Amino acid sequence: MVFEQRRPGAVLFDRDGTLIRDVPYNGDPARVRPMPGALEALSRLRRADLPVAVVTNQSGVAKGLITADEMEQVNARVEELLGPFDAWAICVHDDGDGCTCRKPAPGLLIRAAAVLDVSPRECVMVGDIGRDMEAARAAGARGILVPTVETRREEIEHAPEVADDLTDVAERLLREADAAPAPVAAGGSAWSRALGWSRW
């Protein structure tokens, strides 16, 4: 799918390995470390009035490795370090649960887009692994892969678009954006408005 260069309706970010260092099943806010350039990239997108959201798989809750409260504390720390997000979409299921939200399924992207009052096709999904790109494709969104040392070669080869880092993503999107004012996002940016993940 080829996406025309236009102003995104929203930019959706994976959490672990994209916005913050990937610490598997982390329940400790003290271990949250932003990825290089994350704060600057987010700040530039916010200044351009582009809504930013987090869409994240957190199967550690389903596995019993972290509690929902620990997950909330980690996400609150992410916002302390990287600023407020316009929406959070979280899947706490495991692969075997058969949900429609866990990436590579498109549910998280569709839900985040709905909260932000934009079409999924107007969204850009930024992530570090193939699941993120597959979810983007399934939702009709534009996918941009930002590889890390953990990203598999085949994931990079099959990615619809690859960026060097989050700075590259922000520069690319802002360069492509037109001068039209951004739509006003629905809802607030408080972490507590986590899109009702416990009901999924």
Q: Which residues contact 125 (CB under 8 A, 6 or more apart)?
A: 12, 14, 55, 109, 132, 133, 135, 136, 139, 141, 142, 143, 144
Catalytic residue among 14, 86, 128, 132: 14
Annotation says 22 is catalytic: no
Annotation says 14 is catalytic: yes
Q: Kindly state the tokens that stand for 200.
A: 């999924």
Query: Cα separation of 121 and 6, whole Å?
Result: 11
Residue 169 C-alpha from the chain's centroid: 13
Q: Which residues contact 114 (CB under 8 A, 6 or more apart)?
A: none
CB 43, CB 159: distance < 8 Å:
no
Cα→Cα distances 182→10, 24, 46, 98, 152, Å: 9, 36, 11, 36, 35
Query: Cα separation of 193 and 130, whole Å?
Result: 27
Catalytic residue among 16, 86, 128, 132: 16
Active-site positions read 14, 16
